[in-house]
Amino acid sequence: MVHFDSKIPSKLLSIQQWFASIITRPIDADSQMQPIAPSGRPLSEEAMEIIAPSLTLSSDKRIQIYNQQYWWRLLSILHQNFPLLTRLFGYNDFNISIGMPFLTKHPSYHWSISKLGDQLPSWLEEHYTAQDKTLILLSAQIDWAYQDLFFAPPPVNQDSSHDLLPKKMRLQKHVKLFALPFDLFSFRNAFLRESVEYWTESDFPLLPKEKKYFFLLYRHQKNSVLYKEIQEGHWIFLNSIENGSTMEEACAHLEKLGGSVYEEACSFLQEWTRECMQENWLVLEENV
Amino acid sequence: MINLGIGIGLRPEHYNEIFQTDHEIDWFEIISENYMVDGGKPLEILDKILERYPVVQHGVSLAIGSPDPLDFSYLKKLKALARKTKTPWLSDHLSWGRLAGAHFHDLLPLPYTQEVIDYVADRARIIQDFLEVPFALENLSSYVSFQSDQMPEWEFYGAIVEKANIFMMLDVNNIYVSSRNHHFNPRDYYENIPIERVIQIHLAGHTDHGDYVLDTHDNFVCDEVWKIYGEVISKTGPISTLLEWDDHFLPFNETCKEALKAKRYRQKYGPF
């Protein structure tokens, strides 16, 4: 149910509804506005009833400026927030295959433009069907994680003098875990060294995929977002904690898994927990 | 109202240079929404800036002329930031950009009619009362005018700020851009507004497309805009002046140099 300000003048509202219906419609490959209005009438004719022409531009050409600006602005924000995804497609293909259909389905409902892409990974999951879906989806998730962590709340200071083993903990909000079938983080770094235009003309960097890769993405104390490749056992340990296990239970889970993961845990568990506390990656659930 | 001197807009592209450079910038303006965040680099930099400089907040998402009810969850965050920055005043645009909850992230123009004056002025008064700091509206660069317009922009703008008892954040580049797009004499604009309500001035560059001029904030301030600035400050007296630069960034020092050209005009048209 849409609620408007009770004092909105009806004539203003109808102009705004018409204006919004025009400027949010996709522009074509040459950035031209659609010539037929949503009503079915020629836009050049309909626009004249609302927009006054200038000495140099007709009414429809004047509103076209807003139609273009709407798309160029929002697409450029997606390019900034999804730098790997944009490089994988190039500007033109990104706009046509991803940006415009996504924004048509999910216009912004937040006052902050920085939230514009928050539903892009889930939109891709639902709508993207090409063979490279895994790569595309994970790229979008990682791009968005960088954006999300950049603005995440500062870590809650965790007093590590208490016995934390039996307590439920969580990853702090400036930390995320990834388990990947390829090394997408070094791939992303290689991509980001060059411009979008460069990659439309050049061969892509090598995507390392010799094994399963485990990463932790976090915002450093100096507020840069960094990634760190971690051991499988470390990832399982942190993932168990994130999913509600206590540290004790996470250790028991590693023991139950046995094999090389358990051996790894026996050797490194102390180091992992020390690093987690030093870097402030974990927080008591009661402090979240 | 306090004259802060010459400022520039604080932009992430300059974060690393600001504290490593000697400069004569007196104050910074922030885009409020960029600092209404939970944490991270923007707030770290803002804290450092606040230790050394006055900061003024300028918003882009208020959408005062929108048909949606005022968003008090947004206003609460804005007010909390204003408490932190101690902004001496706070501004946003005389525009709309929100409909049925959707944000267009643009500064869309309003029809210049009496009923729109009444509607916007009521909301402006509420906003100023809620925020508890002087509130100013900025004139737009616009690319359309409406068949239903009943008056020129300057009359519309002046009527709203007077009726709401608020202030003007006068963008002299926007006066120039709109004068080119709507074919009026810029002098008609600044000679017919309640000049005593101007609290701050914006300067910026634009892009001339021939048939129209676009407000792009990615270029040097042109001579015509400097001339408008000079003539406006000859009426306002010494006034806080800010350069906006938002794309095709220059190094921080060069951006400062462009902003500080304003001093020349303050000498010539003042002197102050």
Share of chain B above pLDDT 70, in %: 100
Lowest mean pLDDT among A39-43, A207-211, A238-242, B171-175: A207-211
Residue B117 within a domain: yes
Instruction: Name every chain B residue with its beta carbon within 8 A of the beta carbon of A70.
Output: 104-106
In Å, how far is A58's CA from the nearest CA of chain B?
A: 10
Are the beta carbons of A54 and B123 separated by less than 8 Å? no
Between CA A276 and CA A281 the distance in angstroms is 5
Instruction: Name every chain A residue with its beta carbon within 8 A of the beta carbon of B31.
Output: none
- Is the pLDDT at A87 greater than 90? The verdict is yes
In Å, how far is B14's CA from the nearest CA of chain A?
A: 16
Between CA B34 and CA A179 the distance in angstroms is 32
Residue A159's pLDDT band (boundaries 50, 70, 90)?
confident
Residue B1 within a domain: no
Mean pLDDT confidence for A63-82: 98
Residue with tokens 């643009």: B106
- Is the pLDDT at B18 greater than 80? The verdict is yes
* CATH number, residue A271: 3.90.930.50
Residue of A nearest to B69 (CA): A5
Domain range for A222: 158-288
In Å, how far is A182's CA from the nearest CA of chain B?
A: 29
pLDDT tens sequence across B111-128 = 999 999 999 999 999 999
Between CA A150 and CA A147 the distance in angstroms is 5
Residue A90 within a domain: no
- Is the pLDDT at B272 greater than 80? The verdict is no
Which of B104, B113, B216, B218 is best to mutate for the A interface (most A CBs within 10 A)?
Answer: B104
Between CA A184 and CA A193 the distance in angstroms is 14
Residue of A nearest to B115 (CA): A9
Nearest to B111 by CA among B151, B146, B152, B158: B146
Q: Which of residues 168-227 of B touch A (CB under 8 A)?
A: 181-183, 210-212, 214
Nearest to B143 by CA among A63, A60, A31: A63
Residue B43 within a domain: yes
Share of chain A above pLDDT 70, in %: 99
Residue of A nearest to B114 (CA): A9
Residue B14 within a domain: yes
Residue with tokens 């700020």: B161
Q: So what's the pLDDT on residue A161?
A: 67
Per-chain mean pLDDT for chain A: 94
Mean pLDDT confidence for A181-199: 97
pLDDT tens sequence across A125-151 = 999 999 999 999 999 999 999 999 999
Pairing of strands B90-93, B135-138: parallel
* CATH number, residue B85: 3.20.20.150
Residue A5's pLDDT band (boundaries 50, 70, 90)?
very high
Residue A3 within a domain: no
Residue A281 within a domain: yes
Domain range for B86: 6-98+106-269
Q: How many CB pairs under 8 A join A and B?
A: 150
Are the beta carbons of A54 and B145 separated by less than 8 Å? yes
Residue of B nearest to A113 (CA): B105
Q: So what's the pLDDT on residue A21?
A: 98
Q: Kindly report the pTM of this predicted structure.
A: 0.95
Are the beta carbons of A15 and B106 separated by less than 8 Å? no
In Å, how far is A10's CA from the nearest CA of chain B?
A: 9
Residue A275 within a domain: yes
Q: What angle do CA B96, A26, B112 make, to 5 degrees?
A: 25
Find the CB nearest A151 among B40, B115, B211.
B40
Q: Which long-range contacts (CB under 8 A, 24 or more apart) does B80-85 make?
A: B81/B32, B81/B35, B81/B36, B81/B57, B82/B57, B82/B131, B82/B133, B84/B46, B84/B50, B85/B30, B85/B35, B85/B46, B85/B50, B85/B55, B85/B56, B85/B57
Residue B77 within a domain: yes
Residue A201 within a domain: yes
Total tally of structural domains belonging to chain B: 1
Q: Hey, what's the torsion of the CAs at B269, B140, B78, B35, to 10 degrees?
A: -80
Instruction: Name every chain B residue with its beta carbon within 8 A of the beta carbon of A59.
Output: 144
- Is the pLDDT at A160 greater than 70? The verdict is no
Are the beta carbons of A17 and B123 separated by less than 8 Å? no
Find the CB nearest B36 among A12, A15, A112.
A112
Between CA A193 and CA B117 the distance in angstroms is 51
Residue of A nearest to B144 (CA): A62
- Is the pLDDT at B68 greater than 70? The verdict is yes
Per-chain mean pLDDT for chain B: 97
Residue B57 within a domain: yes
Q: So what's the pLDDT on residue B57?
A: 98
Q: Which residues contact A154 (CB under 8 A, 6 or more apart)?
A: A174, B38, B39, B40
Helix, coil or strand: residue A117: coil
Helix, coil or strand: residue B147: coil
Which of A6, A111, A118, A226 is best to mutate for the B interface (most B CBs within 10 A)?
Answer: A111
Residue A72's pLDDT band (boundaries 50, 70, 90)?
very high
Phi, psi of B183 (to 5 degrees): 60, 55
Lowest mean pLDDT among A148-157, B133-142, B219-228: A148-157
Are the beta carbons of A108 and B105 separated by less than 8 Å? yes
Q: Which of residues 56-115 of B touch A (CB under 8 A)?
A: 61, 65-71, 74, 96, 98-106, 108, 110-111, 113, 115
- Is the pLDDT at A115 greater than 90? The verdict is yes
- Is the pLDDT at A30 greater than 90? The verdict is yes
Q: So what's the pLDDT on residue A88?
A: 98
In Å, how far is B81's CA from the nearest CA of chain A?
A: 15
Within 10 Å of residue A93's Cβ, how many Cβ atoms?
13
Q: So what's the pLDDT on residue A158?
A: 73
Between CA A4 and CA B52 the distance in angstroms is 43
Are the beta carbons of A70 and B104 separated by less than 8 Å? yes
pLDDT tens sequence across B153-207 = 999 999 999 999 999 999 999 999 999 999 999 999 999 999 999 999 999 999 9
In Å, how far is B63's CA from the nearest CA of chain A?
A: 9
Find the CB nearest B67 among A4, A54, A224.
A4
Find the CB nearest B105 among A12, A65, A113.
A113
Which of B147, B181, B216 is best to mutate for the A interface (most A CBs within 10 A)?
Answer: B147
Q: So what's the pLDDT on residue B270?
A: 83
Residue A53 within a domain: no
Mean pLDDT confidence for B30-35: 98
Residue A85 within a domain: no
Residue A95 within a domain: no
- Is the pLDDT at A211 greater than 90? The verdict is yes
Find the CB nearest B147 among A17, A51, A151.
A51
Total tally of structural domains belonging to chain A: 1
**DSSP for residue A97:** I
Find the CB nearest A63 among B34, B144, B148.
B144
Which of A17, A18, A105, A112 is best to mutate for the B interface (most B CBs within 10 A)?
Answer: A112
Q: Does B149 touch chain A (CB under 8 A)?
A: yes
What are the distances in angstroms from CA B122 to CA A4, A5, A142, B70? 15, 11, 45, 11
